[in-house]
Amino acid sequence: MNIILLDREEVIGDLVTLRDHRAEHIVKVLRASPNDRVTVGIINGKVGNGIIKELGKHHPYHVKLKVILDKMPEAPAPLDIMLALPRPIVFKRVIRHLTTLGVDHVFVVNAAKVEKSYWQSSVVTEEGWKRYVREGLAQAVDTRLVEFAFFRGFKPFIQEVIPEIKDRYAQMLVAHPESVNEVTRIYRAGKNPVLLAIGPEGGWNEYELEQMRIQGFEQFSLGPRILRVETAVTAVHASITLLR
């Protein structure tokens, strides 16, 4: 936890009192003392310092901070993700990874090789996924909540939603290990926004790939190896970031 994240309503004037895992982290991990400073930020707001005014070092822990917020976090990379819903345990890791790496929007979609039971997981709920977004933000020292939107039908998303949003993007790319194109050969967006599609571990099927091609997605490969979703997310994000 490299930043203590606060909800706006928690701060009264310029003071906030923490009595949960954040207080425990300040006491047990940071080993802070009165008048020490810790990095704090308001969700979807500014970043700054919290000066410790009171500190209870024994359970139940509590920490009172004077909050000084003086800068906005850096804007996320101009990169949106279209993600086939992974297994819930993998999805939790992917949320953390994407939030830590920095993206703007994530469109979570169904696919032929996505198990129906995945949609019953609590991580698909707003309360569920936001928990892991916060963990990613705390790692990256960021406050901007990544927006997740869920679409249980692939066809309606690709045929109805994509035509409405495609003009936002300089380029739409889909990772596919059987493509003959390396990302360095087809990437040209530079600093402009990109929509990047990453499929399930079983891959997109031919129908899904064809529908994406019709909408203007270009295929690329990172090589012949089949990657796990969380590995692919990190590798592709790193490749696009390096090219940018």
Could you read off the pLDDT of 11-41 as tens digits, one per residue? 999 999 999 999 999 999 999 999 999 999 9
Q: Give the model's pLDDT for residue 225.
A: 82
Q: What is the pLDDT of residues 57-73, one digit of tens each?
A: 888 999 999 999 999 99
**Cα 39 from chain centre:** 21
pTM of the prediction?
Answer: 0.91
Find tokens 């909800």 and name the residue.
7
What does the alpha-carbon distance between residue 243 and residue 184 come to, in Å, rounded to a whole number?
A: 7
Q: Give the model's pLDDT for residue 61.
A: 93
Q: Give the model's pLDDT for residue 177.
A: 84
Question: Shortest CA distance to 198 belongs to which of 164, 169, 163, 172?
Answer: 172
Residue 115: band (very low, low, confident or very high) from pLDDT cuts 50, 70, 90:
very high
Q: What is the pLDDT of residues 143-196, one digit of tens each?
A: 999 999 999 999 999 999 999 999 999 999 999 888 888 888 899 988 899 999
What does the alpha-carbon distance between residue 71 and residue 8 come to, in Å, rounded to a whole number?
A: 15
Average pLDDT for the chain:
94
DSSP count for the chain of H helices, then E strands: 8, 11
* In the predicted structure, residue 224 carries a pLDDT above the cut 90: no
